[in-house]
Structure 1
Amino acid sequence: MSASRLIPPLGRDFVASAEAEVTHITEVEGRPLGSPVQLKTLAVTPRMVLVETTFAAGQASKPHQHPDHDSIVYVVRGKVKVTIEDRVFIAGPGDAWYNAPGVVHHIEALEPTVSVEVKSPPVKAW
């Protein structure tokens, strides 16, 4: 893993949503997104990062893989089509999935969607 991909710890135990860093990302793992997606960094420790992602209906990531980290995604609201290798799932509020290192995956928002994701180690994939 490249040290330049690591996100430094925030150095605080609590982050209010209104104070979290908001970024509009245009790519994931070097693969362009169709349109910018809002990403909010909620917490960062030396071993993990928690981000909230907001997708408009129709926004999608291209198939990609993460070579150097695990990620777990949880849908807060909305609905997405999740593809992990050749398996397709429809995920809604309360559903979660795991993206293992090196496994090709992507998502498409079927309606406006908010999800949260934990990445370990805390790697910037955008």
Structure 2
Amino acid sequence: MRLWHQALLPLLPRAQILGQHRECCALRGKGWGKKHSTVNYVFTHSYKKLVDYHFLVLKEMEHRGYTPDPKWYSPEYRGKNIGPWPNLLIKEASQLDNTTIFPEHNKDYLEECIANLRQKGIDLKVPFPGDSCSS
């Protein structure tokens, strides 16, 4: 379980972007609050931040020609087997593009994600986003 640094989303291979969608769906659903060392930081923030991050994943999937279930575009939706999250608001996509959603997604975390991908045989050419990553 991992949420890739958001700067990597446009660069992730097919399997990783689709896996990221599944991970977000699981976390938005019954996985919310279930501890796991690589995603525990998510639960220290509002649920809305996870929805905002998932929206970026959905946007990237659309960009690649995938058509995720439209239900996931509703911020309140948590999956088939769990009720909606009430009264949740989400930013527009244009407001999210240059915003770091999780402060933990800093330059060190970006480097950690790149190293993790390399261990999987994925060598991305990543321009380090100096201004868009907080240190």
Q: Indicate the TM-score class for this superposition, using the shorter chain for normalisation.
A: under 0.3
Structure with greater Cα Rg: 2
More helix by share: 2
Q: TM-score, normalised by structure 2?
A: 0.24
| Larger relative strand fraction | 1
